[in-house]
Chains A and B, each alone.
Chain A
Amino acid sequence: MAISQDAHTVKQFDLQLANLRNLVLEMGGLTEDQLKRAVAALVQEDMIAAREVISRDRLVNGMQAKADEDCVSIIALRQPLGGDLRMIMSLANTVTDLERIGDGAKKICRMAVQIYDGVSSPPSSKLLRDVTPIADLAAEMLHDSLDALARLDVDKALTIIHNDDELDQEFQSALRRLITYMMEDQRTIGHAINVVFVIKALERVGDHCKNIAEHIVYLVEGKNVQQRRNLDMSLAMLMQEKQET
């Protein structure tokens, strides 16, 4: 059953739900901005920008706390059911994933500050070469997941879930390269370890975007993605068997 877009008879309920959705999307926008600035700070060696991102993370956390409060309030006061209940649960889970993405951006900035600490010599450019393509993939996934959430777009959500595999593969390739650099030249180990933390944080951003996409599928269809995958597989196998007999 697709989620109903009709208005509730009690208009206050609509207002509360709309406010919650807007808060979550606003938090998504802030998180997206944090991630973009974090990567830029690293790539452009801008430590002032990095420290700003770290400081702004408390805003992200504050929005999570407010959203959690609002979810509990709606559950207590409205006893939501059906699509409304799935909406609240999905938004509550999405908020957790967004907060973790915010933490990822903060982590990237902490690593940037360590890398460009002014004590050790700056890293060679080859160590940071993989950061930008992986960051672009993660940023695209985040943008798409927020877009899918705003539009309740299940097809887009399923694409995001699929795209996480690509990000995971990029991460694995980058990790192998970094390991190779470390083995070739021990002097790179210090910076390389920090870069590993950066790309790992970006890989985790992808995982959280995949989670958000799964929440969207659950919200709209009332099925978890595993159920849907089983249904799609069952349909495909049934079609194949029909053709064979």
Chain B
Amino acid sequence: MSTTTIEIKTALDDTLNSDTDAGKRSSVEVTDYENRQTVGKITVDHPKMVCRNVNVYYGAKHALKEVGIDIGTNEVIAFIGPSGCGKSTFLRCLNRMNDTIVACRVAGQIKLDADDIYDKSIDVVQLRARIGMVFQKPNPFPKSIYENVAYGPRIHGMVNTKAELDELVRASLERAGLLKEVDKRMNDPGTSLSGGQQQRLCIARAVAVNPEVILMDEPCSALDPIATAKIEELIDELRENYTIVIVTHSMQQAARVSQRTAYFHLGDLIEVGETDQIFTNPKHKLTEDYITGRFG
């Protein structure tokens, strides 16, 4: 094949935004509701996590169907979709939080770097240090601010001396943008902080155990606009060192914080793409209908 042909094909592929990865064939223009094949490029050049053929069942209910997607290193990817679409279910697959749900069964492959996280040899506790999670409702431990952050590193044996622990706690709080506000009150209960501060404390707690990926399940839905803005700014800063996956009901938030966005609908991954493309020119009619407020 000549260089010109390769260049044209590359330009064509970029323009059509097609993907031919194993497990899913994609189409360009999908106009009927019955077509639930994933549209858009599910792969990235340097994936941190690779998911293929992921199916989740709650008893007999098939909650997540044949989901395949890459999570890129040091990117923020947003999962959007209506309630019950499977985005939080999928998020919980990424650090095996679904293991705690008795009726839940996960099938398929999810890799963190080269490791299959569902392999029998994987230590789930260690996994959840590598892939941290921040929940919708801030949930600091009923301990002091200091202890909230120190707890994880201590039980993981990450530090040897008190001085090292102090340094780690301060660095984590700094990284979460909270240190200045709590420097003089480290012994106060974590629950004495405001909602936004509590959420940043939870982020500091996650960051303290040196994760590679941070999962966030609607981290700002309980917060006011100012606290939300601070968290979003923090997410942008954290991206330098971590990979972040965020589930959100707010399309505007997804648009503001993420580089890629994935739209889920009734258990299917409908479309994934660059955030600005998803919100200005989505390829799938279901995506277009959801983001424009045409809910049928």
Interface residues in chain A, defined as those with a beta carbon under 8 Å from any beta carbon in chain B: 1-2, 4, 6-10, 13, 79-86, 222-223, 227, 230-231, 234-235, 237-238, 241
- Cα(A13)–Cα(B291), bound, Å: 13
* A84 and B252 contact, CB distance less than 8 A: no
Q: A1-B281, A8-B294, A222-B280 are in contact. List 9 more A-B contacts (CB 8 A).
A: A4-B294, A8-B292, A81-B251, A81-B279, A82-B288, A83-B292, A222-B281, A237-B4, A238-B8
Contact of A9 among B9, B15, B283, B295 (CB under 8 A): B295
Contact A82 B12 (CB under 8 A): no
A4 and B293 CA atoms in complex are apart in Å by 11
Contact assessment for B292 and A80 in the assembled complex, using a CB-CB cutoff below 8 Å? yes
State how many angstroms separate the Cβ of B132 from the closest Cβ of chain A: 30
Q: Is the CB of B8 within 8 A of A9?
A: no
* Residues of chain B at the chain A interface (Cβ within 8 Å): 2, 4-5, 8-9, 11-12, 15, 29, 31, 251-252, 255, 279-285, 287-289, 291-296
Q: Which residues of A contact B4 (CB under 8 A)?
A: 237, 241
Smallest distance from the beta carbon of B251 to chain A beta carbons, Å?
Answer: 7
Partner of A13, one of B15, B281, B284, B293: B293
Contact A82 B15 (CB under 8 A): no
CB <8 Å contact, B294 and A9: yes
Cα A173 to Cα B240 in complex, Å, equals 60
Q: A1, B284: Cβ atoms under 8 Å?
A: yes
User: Do B251 and A235 touch (CB < 8 A)?
Assistant: no
Give 18 pairs: A residue, B residue, CB < 8 Å, sorted on A. A1-B29, A1-B284, A2-B31, A4-B294, A7-B294, A9-B295, A9-B296, A81-B255, A81-B292, A82-B281, A82-B287, A85-B279, A227-B15, A234-B11, A234-B15, A238-B12, A241-B4, A241-B5
Which 3 pairs from chain A and chain B are nearest by CB? A222-B281, A81-B291, A9-B295
Is B5 a contact partner of A238 (Cβ separation < 8 A)?
Answer: yes
Residues of A contacting B287 in the complex (Cβ-Cβ under 8 angstroms): 82
CB distance from A54 to the nearest CB of B (A): 40
Q: What separation, in Å, do the CA atoms of A222 and B282 have in the docked complex?
A: 9
- Measured CB to CB, the closest approach of chain A to B137, in angstroms, equals 26
Measured CB to CB, the closest approach of chain A to B110, in angstroms, equals 30
When A and B form their complex, what is the total count of cross-chain residue pairs whose Cβ atoms lie within 8 Å? 75
Give the nearest-CB partner of A10 in chain B. Answer: B293
Least CB separation from A221: chain B residue:
B281
Cα distance A241–B284 when bound, in Å? 31
Shortest Cβ gap from A152 to chain B (Å) = 15
Complex alpha-carbon distance, A12 and B17, angstroms = 34
Cβ–Cβ contact A82 & B280, under 8 A: yes
Q: How far is the CA of A79 from the CA of B252 in the complex (A)?
A: 8
By a CB distance below 8 angstroms, the chain A residues around B280 are 81-82, 85-86, 222
| Separation of A35 and B166 alpha carbons in the complex (Å) | 77
CB distance from A113 to the nearest CB of B (A): 46
The residue in chain A whose Cβ has the minimal distance to the Cβ of B279 is: A81
Known A4-B289, A241-B4: A230·B15 in contact at CB below 8 Å: yes
Are the CB atoms of B293 and A9 closer together than 8 Å?
A: yes
B residues near A238, Cβ cutoff 8 Å: 5, 8-9, 12
Contacts of A80 in B (CB 8 A): 292
**Once bound together, how far apart are the Cα atoms of A7 and B285, in whole Å?**
13
A237 to B12, CA, bound (A): 11
In angstroms, Cα B31 to Cα A10, docked, is 22
Interface pair A234/B293, CB less than 8 Å apart: no
Min CB–CB distance B181 → chain A (angstroms): 31
